[in-house]
Amino acid sequence: MSTLHAVMSRNDVRGLLIRHTGKHLAEDVVSAWESGLAGYSLAECHRAFAALGPAARRATPSEIAGRCDAARDRTTGEPVPVQAAASPRATTRDYYRHAGMLGIRTVYAAMGWKRNADHDLARSVPCPFCKARAWAVCGPLSRNRAGVREMRDPVHRMHPSRLRHAQAELVHTNGTPDQETPR
């Protein structure tokens, strides 16, 4: 690994922030900066801060990362991509969420417990009622702004409209439902 793109340690990030902001910051702020500047070298970040001048005191990690990316593009001669890639934090979050789901399934299989297939099906789509994202459990909301009341199912821990939405989407993509519904 070249020294140009050596990964910064936590102390490097802390020193960078002290030098360019002029104050000691809380550990959670240092963690956010460390996460936001993952993959950038100390020299690149110093140059990005220096280019900002006095505005460096109000800089954000994404601003500094963007300046580092722009500097890399200028040095390599490659054009700046139109669509930015997913942030390292988002890909890490997705990785751990997926690993957690696999771990839960492994534990269920090892213990001989039965998983409810509707639970995973419902989690695969966003909730139309409480607006929970896909793979996140529904919030405890029982009445939305329109005054519509919907209680979560205690078995699935999801709103029933989310399960219906997931089943409708499954029928739409497959053309036929997986299970026959009793009439």
For 76-111, what is each residue's pLDDT tens digit? 555 544 444 555 666 677 777 778 888 888 898 899
For 15, 35, 41, 101, 168, the CA distances from 9, given in Å and listed in that order, are: 10, 11, 10, 31, 48
Phi, then psi, of 31 in degrees rounded to 5 = -60, -40
Per DSSP, the residues of 7-66 read PPPHHHHHHHHHHHHSS---HHHHHHHHHHTTT--HHHHHHHHHHHGGGGGG--HHHHHH
Q: How many helices and strands (H and E) does the chain possess?
A: 7, 0
pTM above 0.75, yes or no: no
The helix/strand/coil state of 167 is: helix
% helix, strand, coil for the chain, step of 5:
55, 0, 40
Give phi and psi for 106, each to the nearest 5: -65, -40
Tell me the pLDDT tens digit for each residue of 24-74.
888 888 888 888 888 888 888 888 888 887 777 888 888 888 888 888 877
